[in-house]
C-alpha cells in the first residue's frame, strides 16, 4: 500500500470514529484500524464512507499506509489495553515516529510511557480530549503533553480540529511527560465539582423550596444568561423542561445514583499527594459514592423524612442567594484546581502555564463557561498570580 495517510487512528468506538471524521473534515487523510475488524467495516460503510478515510485490517498495513514520521493516535480503553497496543506497534515503527494516546489514561502511566518510548526513539504524546462525542466530531478541547520534540509535527492537525474560543484554538502544548493527562484529570475532577454544586442548588430549590422541575427551568435558564453562563447550567435548564411521555418531569423518574469513572478520584488522590486541597472535588466524589448506596438510602428515607418544603423565606431571595453561592463555590473549586496545578508543576518539573490551561477549557469541553474566560484573563493580566 502506498504511504499516503497523514495520520493513523486506532480505536473506532464513539470517540475514535468522531475524531477521525473531524480530522478528515480538515483535509487530512486518516488510516483507521480497530481490534475487531467488523467495527472498521461498519464505520467505512456508514459515516466514514465519503470521507478521506481508509480502513486497514492489520497493524502492519496501518503502519505501511502512513507518511513519515508516522503519527498513530490511540483512542482505546485506558489502562492495560494501551500498553498492549503500544507493545504491538513499536516493533513496526521507526525512530522519530509518534504515538499519541488520546484516551483517559492516568498521568503516571503517560509519564512512564513517554520515558520508555524515548529510549527506543519513539515520541509519545498523552493528550487529554474533552467534549465527548460532539466535541470529538466538531471541536474538542485538547490538552497535549509528553515528548516536546513531537509537538511541532502534529500541532497543525490538532489545532485545526479543536474548538475555538475568542478566536483561539482550544489546543495548546501543556507540558512534558504526563502533563496533558494531568490537565485532563483535573478537568474531570472540576467537572464533578461543577455538577455537584448544581445538584445541591437543585436539591435546595426542589426539596427546600418545593419547586418542581418546570418551575426550576426558568431559574436555570436565567442563571445561564449571567455569570454562571456555562454548558452544564444550559443543559440543566433543558433537563428541567424535559417531560416523559405521560407529561410528568423526566428528572423525577431518573434513579439518583451516579457511578464514578475514575478521574475524579484520581484528582483527589493527586491532591493528597501534593498536599493541595481540592475539597470541593473530594466532596463531589463522596457524594457520588453515597448516591450509589441506593438500598441504604431507600431504607433511611423511610425513617428520616427530611426537611421537605422547610424553607419559608422569600423564594426570590433564596434563589438569588443560591446563584451567589454557586458562583462562590465555582471560585473555590477552580482556585483549588489551579493550586493543584501549581504544586504538580513544581513536583514534576512541568513548568505549567495555568493561564494556558484555563484557556483550553473555554470551549469544546463539558466545563466550558464564561467564567473560564475570566480566569484566562486573570492569569494573562497577572502571570505571577499565586492564587485565583
- Considering the complex, state which of residue 131 and residue 213 has its C-beta at the smaller distance from ligand NAP: 131
What is the smallest separation between the CB atom of 360 and ligand NAP, expressed in angstroms?
14
**Position among 8, 16, 178, 249 found at the interface with ligand NAP (CB under 6 A):** 16
Residue 294 to residue 316: CA distance in whole angstroms? 33
184 a catalytic residue:
yes
119 a catalytic residue:
no
Cβ-proximal residues to 130 (8 Å cutoff; 6+ apart), any chain: 140, 141, 142, 143, 184, 187, 188, 361, 364, 365, 366, 367
Residue nearest to ligand NAP (CB): 103
**Position among 36, 245, 295, 298 found at the interface with ligand NAP (CB under 6 A):** 36
**Position among 3, 13, 294, 313 found at the interface with ligand NAP (CB under 6 A):** 13
- Considering the complex, state which of residue 72 and residue 76 has its C-beta at the smaller distance from ligand NAP: 76
Is 104 near ligand NAP (CB under 6 A)? yes
Footprint (CB under 6 A) of ligand NAP, residues 119-148: 129-130, 132-133
Is 77 near ligand NAP (CB under 6 A)? yes
Residue 298 to residue 135: CA distance in whole angstroms? 37
What is the smallest separation between the CB atom of 182 and ligand NAP, expressed in angstroms?
15
Contacts of 256-262 spanning 24+ positions with Cβ under 8 A: 256/291, 257/291, 257/292, 257/294, 258/288, 258/291, 258/292, 259/288, 259/292, 260/285, 260/288, 260/289, 261/104, 261/188, 262/104
Catalytic residue among 111, 172, 184, 330: 184
Is 84 near ligand NAP (CB under 6 A)? yes
Burial of residue 79 (CB within 10 Å: 0-12, 13-18, 19+) is middle
What is the smallest separation between the CB atom of 1 and ligand NAP, expressed in angstroms?
21
What is the smallest separation between the CB atom of 230 and ligand NAP, expressed in angstroms?
18
Catalytic residue among 38, 61, 172, 191: 191
Size of the site for ligand NAP (CB under 6 A): 23
Three-class SS of residue 146? strand
- Considering the complex, state which of residue 191 and residue 353 has its C-beta at the smaller distance from ligand NAP: 191
Cβ-proximal residues to 300 (8 Å cutoff; 6+ apart), any chain: none
Is 260 near ligand NAP (CB under 6 A)? no
What is the smallest separation between the CB atom of 325 and ligand NAP, expressed in angstroms?
29
- Considering the complex, state which of residue 83 and residue 342 has its C-beta at the smaller distance from ligand NAP: 83
Residue 40 CA, distance from chain mean position = 25
DSSP-derived secondary structure letter, 91: G
Task: Print burial letters for 356-367: b (CB count within 10 Å at least 16), e (below 16).
Answer: bbbbbbbbbbbb
Is 210 near ligand NAP (CB under 6 A)? no
**What are the cell numbers at 197?**
454544586
What is the smallest separation between the CB atom of 12 and ligand NAP, expressed in angstroms?
5
Binding footprint of ligand NAP on the chain (CB under 6 A): 11-16, 34-36, 39, 75-78, 81, 84-85, 103-104, 129-130, 132-133
Catalytic residue numbers read 184, 191
Amino acid at each position: 500500500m502506498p504511504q499516503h495517510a497523514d495520520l493513523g487512528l486506532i480505536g473506532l468506538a464513539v470517540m475514535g470514529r468522531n475524531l477521525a471524521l473531524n480530522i478528515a473534515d480538515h483535509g487530512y487523510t486518516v488510516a483507521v484500524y480497530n481490534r475487531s475488524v467488523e467495527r472498521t467495516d461498519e464505520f467505512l460503510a456508514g459515516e466514514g464512507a465519503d470521507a478521506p478515510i481508509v480502513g486497514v485490517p492489520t497493524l502492519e498495513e496501518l503502519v505501511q499506509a502512513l507518511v513519515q514520521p508516522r503519527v498513530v493516535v490511540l483512542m482505546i480503553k485506558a489502562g492495560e489495553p494501551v500498553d498492549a497496543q503500544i507493545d504491538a506497534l513499536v516493533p513496526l515503527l521507526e525512530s522519530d515516529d509518534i504515538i499519541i494516546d488520546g484516551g483517559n489514561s492516568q498521568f503516571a502511566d503517560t509519564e512512564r510511557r513517554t520515558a520508555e518510548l524515548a529510549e527506543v526513539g519513539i515520541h509519545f504524546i498523552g493528550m487529554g480530549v474533552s467534549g465527548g462525542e460532539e466535541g470529538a466530531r466538531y471541536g474538542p478541547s485538547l490538552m497535549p503533553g509528553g515528548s516536546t520534540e513531537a509537538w511541532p509535527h502534529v500541532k497543525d492537525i490538532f489545532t485545526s480540529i479543536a474548538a475555538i474560543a475568542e478566536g483561539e484554538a482550544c489546543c495548546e502544548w501543556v507540558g512534558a511527560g504526563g502533563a496533558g493527562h494531568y490537565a485532563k484529570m483535573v478537568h474531570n475532577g472540576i467537572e464533578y465539582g461543577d455538577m455537584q454544586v448544581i445538584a445541591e442548588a437543585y436539591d435546595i430549590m426542589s426539596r427546600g423550596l418545593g419547586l418542581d422541575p418546570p418551575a426550576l427551568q426558568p431559574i436555570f435558564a436565567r442563571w445561564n444568561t449571567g455569570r454562571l453562563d456555562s454548558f452544564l447550567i444550559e443543559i440543566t435548564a433543558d433537563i428541567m423542561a424535559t417531560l416523559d411521555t405521560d407529561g410528568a418531569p423526566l428528572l423525577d423518574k431518573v434513579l439518583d445514583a451516579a457511578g464514578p469513572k475514575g478521574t475524579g478520584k484520581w484528582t483527589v488522590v493527586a491532591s493528597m499527594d501534593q498536599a493541595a486541597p481540592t475539597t470541593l472535588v473530594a466532596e463531589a466524589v463522596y457524594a457520588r459514592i453515597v448516591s450509589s448506596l441506593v438500598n441504604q438510602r431507600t431504607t433511611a428515607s423511610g425513617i428520616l423524612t427530611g426537611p421537605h418544603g422547610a424553607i419559608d423565606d422569600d423564594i426570590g431571595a433564596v434563589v438569588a442567594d443560591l446563584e451567589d453561592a454557586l458562583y462562590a463555590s465555582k471560585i473555590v473549586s477552580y482556585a483549588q484546581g489551579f493550586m493543584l496545578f501549581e504544586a504538580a508543576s513544581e513536583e514534576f518539573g512541568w513548568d505549567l502555564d495555568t493561564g494556558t490551561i484555563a484557556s483550553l477549557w473555554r470551549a469544546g469541553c463539558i466545563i466550558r463557561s464564561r467564567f473560564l474566560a475570566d480566569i484566562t484573563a486573570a492569569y494573562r493580566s497577572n502571570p505571577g498570580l499565586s492564587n485565583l
